[in-house]
């Protein structure tokens, strides 16, 4: 039958993603899947029990809840992260609970990036940043982490560093945002405070937003400390921090994530969220609050 309609072509170049492709290939060839990271063990039993308790918690657990996050969850996230960021986080204004960190990222790019904006992405990066920037009409500008000069063989993920000069050269009058990911997927690099300060100084100098993907914030080893760039002076007002309960509690299939930042930025993410998914599964959010 010949069609009379024309399919929109705006998204044609994003039809393939690494995660979908590798997951299928791994299934087809019964190979170990290194293309998508998820635990091959169950979440801790206290998390599973809390989820079961939520599911058995009566009819409200099975119905719609507040669009931007169940009140219990946003309150506990605000209380918890206020201590870490060193400021009072407003649960109703400064947090958006989303369908995984993935959707928090999507809302962030859709809300903040306009046609013609440039977004600096640090390489290597989680694969969805690039298509999400482009779907919002922006242009991705890349800057690589490189082995530290003169360090000889790369011994640890900390040996991968940004060149301050190279990074500075990527900022232009069209730069709207920079995306960092700490700890980094795939390198495992945890940015040190001085490295974050260097990025923060550039963001402030060029009046640029920082999108900080911190879904692996609790996976640090050998005494390495994760620092939130939003906690550095002058950065709360210009940073969107992305988090994931799925990663934190080894329950990636529940898809509970969040974006956190100043209410004046977050309100734009909420607009995208309420007009796309509206909210994330009620019972999956309430489990986070019952311990």
Least distance between ligand PMP and beta carbon 49 (Å): 21
Return d(Cα 70, Cα 66) in angstroms, integer: 5
Note whether 69 binds ligand PMP by CB under 6 A.
no
Q: Judged by CB under 6 A, which of 203, 215, 230, 272 binds ligand PMP?
A: 215
Region for 242 from its dihedrals, namely left if φ exceeds 0, alpha if ψ lies in -120 to 50, beta otherwise: beta
Which residues make beta-bridge pairs with 180?
212
Q: Judged by CB under 6 A, which of 11, 20, 21, 37 binds ligand PMP?
A: 37
Residue span binding ligand PMP (CB under 6 A) among the ranges 5-13, 59-67, 244-252, 277-285? 244-252
Complete edge-to-edge strand list for the sheet that includes strand 209-213: 95-99, 256-260, 239-244, 209-213, 175-181, 118-123, 139-144
Q: Which of residues 86-125 bind ligand PMP (CB under 6 A)?
A: 100-102
Note whether 131 binds ligand PMP by CB under 6 A.
no
What's the CA dihedral at 122, 125, 127, 130 to 10 degrees?
Answer: 0
Note whether 183 binds ligand PMP by CB under 6 A.
no
Question: Looking at beta carbons, which residue is closest to ligand PMP?
Answer: 100
Of the two residues 176 and 255, which places its CB atom closer to ligand PMP in the complex? 255
Q: Judged by CB under 6 A, which of 108, 185, 262, 282 binds ligand PMP?
A: 185
Note whether 251 binds ligand PMP by CB under 6 A.
no
Return d(Cα 37, Cα 56) in angstroms, integer: 30
Of the two residues 14 and 169, which places its CB atom closer to ligand PMP in the complex? 14
Of the two residues 204 and 219, which places its CB atom closer to ligand PMP in the complex? 219
Note whether 248 binds ligand PMP by CB under 6 A.
no
Q: Judged by CB under 6 A, which of 246, 249, 270, 273 binds ligand PMP?
A: 246
E strand or H helix at 71, and its extent?
helix 71-85
Question: Residues binding ligand PMP: what is the number (CB under 6 A)?
Answer: 15
Strands 256-260 and 239-244: antiparallel
- What is the CA 151 to chain-centroid distance, rounded? 31
Asked whether the beta carbons of 81 and 235 are under 8 A apart, the reply is no
- What is the CA 7 to chain-centroid distance, rounded? 30
- Phi, psi dihedral angles at 139 (to 5 degrees): -120, 130
Interface residues with ligand PMP (CB under 6 A) are: 37, 100-102, 126, 181, 185, 213, 215, 244, 246-247, 252, 255, 257
């Amino acid at each position: 039958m010949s069609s009379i309609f024309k399919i929109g072509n705006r998204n044609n170049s994003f039809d393939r993603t690494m995660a979908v492709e590798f997951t299928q290939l791994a299934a087809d060839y019964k190979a170990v899947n290194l293309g998508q990271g998820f635990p091959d063990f169950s979440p801790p039993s206290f998390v599973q029990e809390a989820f079961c308790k939520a599911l058995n918690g009566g009819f409200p657990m099975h119905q719609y809840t507040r669009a931007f996050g169940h009140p219990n969850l946003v309150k506990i996230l605000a209380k918890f992260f206020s201590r870490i960021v060193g400021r009072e986080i407003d649960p109703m204004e400064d947090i958006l609970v989303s369908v995984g960190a993935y959707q928090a990222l999507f809302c962030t790019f859709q809300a903040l990036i306009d046609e013609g904006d440039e977004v600096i992405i640090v390489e290597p990066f989680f694969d969805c940043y690039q298509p999400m920037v482009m779907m919002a009409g922006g242009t991705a500008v890349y800057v690589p982490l490189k082995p530290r000069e003169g360090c000889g063989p790369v011994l640890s993920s900390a040996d991968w560093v940004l060149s301050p000069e190279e990074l500075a050269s990527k900022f232009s009058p069209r730069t709207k945002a920079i995306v960092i990911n700490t700890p980094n997927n795939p390198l495992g690099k945890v940015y040190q405070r001085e490295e974050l300060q260097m990025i923060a100084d550039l963001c402030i100098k060029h009046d640029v937003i920082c999108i900080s993907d911190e879904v692996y914030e609790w996976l640090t080893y050998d005494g390495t400390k994760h620092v939130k760039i939003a906690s550095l002076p002058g950065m709360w007002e210009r940073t969107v921090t992305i988090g994931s309960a799925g990663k934190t509690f080894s329950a990636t299939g529940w898809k509970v994530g969040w974006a956190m930042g100043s209410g004046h930025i977050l309100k734009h993410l909420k607009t995208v969220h309420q007009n796309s998914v509206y909210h994330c599964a009620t019972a999956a959010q309430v489990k986070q609050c019952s311990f």
